[in-house]
Amino acid sequence: MEHAGIILNIMKSRRSLSHVDRKGRARMVDVGRKRPTLREAVARSRVDLSKEAFDLVRRNRADKGDVLAVAQLAGIQAAKRTSEMIPLCHPIPLDVVEVHLDLDATACAVLIEARARTRAPTGVEMEAMAAATVAGLTVYDMVKAVDRRAVVGAIRLIEKRGGRSGRFRR
């Protein structure tokens, strides 16, 4: 058991950041040997609001207003431009981007989930992360006059399918 631990540590110590070369310099990962396969990623984020700001967003949704629609659209558009936003990301086609926003009244939070799918030689984690993030920032933009203390956070990968590294489920 102990040996296994040591070997694991050695293996781990060989792991390195994919986006830096041996000298520590940044690089784009070469996906030239990867085949285009179906890939999917799901990311989530949240915006924690004051009671007042949350109530305004909730009332806007009850009135079928646009606040959540604007944030959703901003998320979709951001996913399409991920490779401009993240310097070492590959530009890839996208089959679909879905962004959903829900309200959690107990926590006074907007909960965001973004899903991206592609058939490409590299994954769509960053596209899903970008969509969840920009949707959250857009909510902040619209509530900030009322609640400067709102916090966008918990941006994380929930699920990932396809590609060499296989399935990931948080």
Q: Which x/- pattern, by CB under 8 A, does the window 87-126 give for a copy of itself?
A: xxxxxxxxxxxx------------------x-xxx---xx
Report if residue 77 touches a copy of itself, rule: CB under 8 A: yes
Which of residues 26, 104, 105, 167 is near a copy of itself by CB under 8 A? 26
Query: Residues 123 to 162: which contact a copy of itself by CB under 8 A?
Result: 125-126, 129-130, 133-134, 136-138, 140-146, 148-157, 160
Cβ-based nearer residue to a copy of itself, 7 or 69? 69
Which of residues 42, 49, 57, 110 is near a copy of itself by CB under 8 A? 57
- Identity of the amino acid at 131: A
* DSSP-based three-state secondary structure for 165: coil
* DSSP-based three-state secondary structure for 73: helix
Q: How far is the CB of 163 from a copy of itself (least distance, A)?
A: 11
CA dist 58 and 165 (Å) reads 40
Strands of 109-120's sheet, edge to edge?
37-48, 109-120, 96-104
Q: Has 141 been annotated as catalytic?
A: yes
Give the Cα-Cα-Cα angle 77, 80, 82 (nearest 5 degrees): 110
Cβ-based nearer residue to a copy of itself, 3 or 12? 12
Are 82 and 99 within 8 A, CB to CB?
no
